[in-house]
Amino acid sequence: MGTAAPGGGGWVDRLIGSSQRARVHHYTRYTLYTFAGVELVAVPLNMPQWIANSHPLSAVGTGVLILLHGLCNIQLTRVGLRWYLAEGRGVVWPGRLLAAHAVVTVLIVALVFVSVAAGQAPETTVGALVSLWAFGISGPSLLLSQRQLWAGLGVLVGAMVVGGTAAGMATQLTLVLAVMSGGLSVLMAFTCRVTAWTLRVVNKLDAARETEARLAVAEERLRFGRDMHDVLGRNLSVIALKSELAAQLARRGSPAAVEQMTEVQRIARESQQEMREVVRGYREADLQAELAGARGVLEAAGIRCRIEDGGSTELPVAVQSALGWVVREGTTNVLRHADAAVCVIRLRPPARGGIVAVLEMENDGVRGAGAAPGGSDGTGLRGLRGRLGALGGTLTAEPYGGGVAGSGAAGAGGGAGKGGSFRLTATVPVPSPAGAAARTRTGAVAGAATDAAGREEPGAAVPHTGEREAGPPDGALLPGPAGDREVGA
């Protein structure tokens, strides 16, 4: 027995192997085509009886017109379904075909009533015409508006009444046939429109599913890019700082250069592990670890760092993670692009009855002459706003005229920030303090166990040397790639 070629097989196999949407389309389309083609089957089945009860020429003429009417109806159903699903876009309106369908319909009605009036056809022929006409409405029902359909059905019922009266049929029979004609036509038109509407809904659901898949891919790309920036930004800054320090120590012949390069190697390995976590989507920021790491790297760069932690362990895990990213990004920006001598990180959890946690990072690294206007967002700040926005939080970054509290530079002209200071403020709503404290307790214990085991944040053990990486000439904060600037940090 031979093996079927790939992609071969009968139409049944192809139908079974098709998608659910395709199977629904096939089933619905061919159901409508079957309704439209009933006239083609009815003519050969009823022709012997029509010839026996009517004049042969009248019976044959009526049969030919009904066959032509059925063919027009099938084509109208096919084109009308495309028109309805496309909502009129990209499909040519079949005006000529619709006109031909109407002309054939008028000829059939006229021929039948003339034959009945001349005594060449029994009155039962009109009843057969009524049942066939109901199936013949399927095509036009997909192309005409509701108002046009109701107008057409009104004309049909009126023609039945006028034709039956002119043919001498009994008034009661004429009215019954007219009501049957209108009722069956309304039922068939409603069935066809609802069926086509179902296909339209299926198409929109399928399009929505494709859109959802594309959005999921785009969202994952944004997450990856944001996490890449947030994770590697600070570590690369620390690596650059320590490498510069090691180079200076090596020029002096100090053995401490080896220790600094060992630190660089360790941070590089940690960055590699964090990158793997980013790829897997498991990366979260530990607020306590980020605060400790910020203190270490800032003091290693010669920037005095003071942390005012008002109770970070009482915050929910999601809030801690979001604020941890803020600390990481703010620290990165201070290292790279500010000319600061003092940095204060202040965390204020919700007061009793409050619902918002506030994190502030202040530094005196903005020069008055070089401060750029606030409000331009860098890549890092946009990412932070996205993280905080998911929790209903906000982020503001702006320079201000006063000095950093406790720096001794305010009003004294001392320190690097002679022209002013910069403040980064993050606010995050805290939904349920009681439940958040319970959820956070487990994470805090785990973090403490990790730190007790000897985990060291990048830069935490670096001695205070006063060496630091110089910021750009204008002291502006650049959280993202070059050219995407934010004022000082």
pLDDT at 447: 41
Output phi, psi for 257, to 5 deg: -60, -35
pLDDT at 217 over 80: no
- Selected residue with higher pLDDT from 479 and 292: 292
For the chain, domains (ranges, CATH) are: 11-212 (no CATH), 284-452 (3.30.565.10)
- Selected residue with higher pLDDT from 62 and 474: 62
Angle (nearest 5°) at CA 488 between 482 and 489? 105
Give me the amino acid identity at 289: A
pLDDT at 345 over 90: yes
Q: How confident is the model at residue 412 (pLDDT cuts 50, 70, 90)?
A: very low
Q: How confident is the model at residue 203 (pLDDT cuts 50, 70, 90)?
A: confident
Share of the chain above pLDDT 90, in %: 6
Do residues 50 and 59 touch, judged by C-beta distance below 8 A? yes
Q: How confident is the model at residue 426 (pLDDT cuts 50, 70, 90)?
A: very high
Q: Is 0.75 topped by the overall pTM?
A: no
Q: Encoding tokens for residue 326?
A: 């803020």
Instruction: Tell me the average pLDDT of the chain.
Output: 74
Instruction: Taking each helix axis as running N to C, give the angle between helix 317-337 and helix 379-390, from 0 to 180 degrees, rounded to the nearest 10.
Output: 170
Q: Three-state SS string across the chain, please?
A: CCCCCCCCCCHHHHHHCCCHHHHHHHHHHHHHHHHHCHHHHHHHHHHHHHHHHCCHHHHHHHHHHHHHHHHHHHHHHHHHHHHHHHCCCCCCCCHHHHHHHHHHHHHHHHHHHHHHHCCCCCCHHHHHHHHHHHHCCHHHHHHCCHHHHHHHHHHHHHHHHHHHHHCCCCHHHHHHHHHHHHHHHHHHHHHHHHHHHHHHHHHHHHHHHHHHHHHHHHHHHHHHHHHHHHHHHHHHHHHHHHHHHHHHHHHCCCCHHHHHHHHHHHHHHHHHHHHHHHHHCCCCCCHHHHHHHHHHHHHHCCCEEEEEECCHHHCCHHHHHHHHHHHHHHHHHHHHHCCCCEEEEEEECCCCCCCEEEEEEEECCCCCCCCCCCCCCCHHHHHHHHHHHHCCCEEEEEEECCCCCCCCCCCCCCCCCCCCEEEEEEEEECCCHHHHHHHHHHHHHHHHHHHHCCCCCCCCCCCCCCCCCCCCCCCCECCCCCCCCECCC
pLDDT tens string 452-470 = 333 333 333 333 333 333 3
pLDDT tens string 138-185 = 888 888 888 888 888 888 888 888 888 888 888 888 888 888 888 888
Q: How confident is the model at residue 67 (pLDDT cuts 50, 70, 90)?
A: confident
pLDDT at 477 over 60: no
pLDDT at 395: 92
- Selected residue with higher pLDDT from 284 and 85: 85
pLDDT at 480: 35
Output phi, psi for 281, to 5 deg: 80, 20
